[in-house]
Amino acid sequence: MLKREMHPVHPGAILKEMYLEPLALSITEFADNIGVTRKTVSQIVNEHSGISAEMALRLSEAFNTTPEMWLDMQQKYDLWEAKKNVKLFKIKHLIIKTKSVPETTILRGSVSAEKTISSRDKNIATKVSKVSKKKTQNKATKQS
């Protein structure tokens, strides 16, 4: 079954409907309070502009929220919009992640990359094991 997510609300709409309107604040009054121009707030409230890190700090101070809340809303909105417009099917995968050792990556196009994954994993596991043993030995040496 296809999962459909709801379109995230622009943070400007949240600002307007959940903060400015209930507090009966005009855009001009609010802009003066947070030290920006009326045009800046108007662009955000009318969804023509996004929330910057600086604006997130100002909003969080004014409304006793966190800057992360505002930035998270903006990021979710931006990502949703980008997914509608960016054509990812044209992009080739350049890195293959191995399953047995997740930290390892192999560049696509290397000589028989898929065939060498298991042997590379074994080599990496061996190297990791040797490094761990050396660290343990060094700690034991330092303690005595």
Task: Give residue-wise pLDDT tens across range 123-132.
Answer: 555 555 555 5
Q: Higher-confidence residue: 134 or 57? A: 57
Q: What is the pTM of this model?
A: 0.63
Residue 112 pLDDT greater than 50, yes or no: no
Residues 138 and 73 in one domain: no
Count of structural domains within the chain: 2
Residue 22: CATH number of its domain:
1.10.260.40
Any domain includes 4: no
Any domain includes 122: yes
* Domain that residue 108 falls in: 95-143
Residues 81 and 99 in one domain: no
* Residue 12 CB coordination number (10 Å): 22
